[in-house]
């Protein structure tokens, strides 16, 4: 068993590593916004805890509110567009796979 304390107060990836089967990050308005990309094999999960976020998904804007869960399938191009000032969301992915992420913009 592993317990991660105060996980919602951290930034960047909270749980990751070669011996852990997932990557988990709690993101806020201060988290960097990455460029457009897709993953060849991995799904990516966004769960909004507070506020709103807006992503571009396959060229269409998708707005998510508190309580919304977005599951991005492999090969779907996506990027974060904006976040409300109170945005807090969980980003969850399987363990990193070498060369799985492809930058598209």
Q: Over the stretch 58-98, which tens digit does the pLDDT of each residue have?
A: 999 999 999 999 999 999 999 999 999 999 999 999 988 89
- Give 60's contacts (C-beta < 8 A, 6+ positions apart): none
Q: Over the stretch 15-63, which tens digit does the pLDDT of each residue have?
A: 666 677 888 888 998 888 889 999 999 999 999 999 999 999 999 999 9
CATH number for position 84: 2.60.120.10
User: What is the pTM (predicted TM-score) of this model?
Assistant: 0.84
| 54 vs 61: CA distance, rounded Å | 7
Give CA 75 to chain center in angstroms: 15
What pLDDT is attached to residue 21?
82
Structural domain count of the chain: 1
* Confidence band, pLDDT 50/70/90 cuts, at residue 1: low
Q: Is residue 1 part of a domain?
A: no
> Helix/strand/coil (H, E, C) string of 8-37?
HHCCCEEECCCCCCEEEEEEECCCCCCCCE
Q: Is residue 92 part of a domain?
A: yes
Q: Is residue 54 part of a domain?
A: yes
Q: Which domain does 56 fall in, by range? A: 7-103
Q: Is residue 31 part of a domain?
A: yes
Q: Is residue 27 part of a domain?
A: yes
Helix (H, G, I), strand (E, B) or coil at 42: coil
């Amino acid at each position: 068993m592993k317990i991660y304390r105060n996980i919602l107060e951290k930034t960047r990836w909270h749980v990751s590593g070669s011996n852990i089967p997932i990557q988990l990050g709690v993101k806020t308005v201060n988290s960097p916004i990455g460029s457009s990309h897709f993953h060849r094999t991995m799904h990516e999960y966004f769960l909004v805890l507070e506020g709103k976020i807006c992503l571009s998904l396959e060229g269409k804007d998708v707005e998510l509110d508190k309580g919304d869960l977005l599951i991005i399938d492999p090969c779907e191009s996506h990027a974060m567009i904006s976040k409300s000032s109170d945005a807090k969301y969980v980003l969850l992915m399987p363990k990193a796979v070498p060369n799985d992420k492809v930058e598209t913009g």
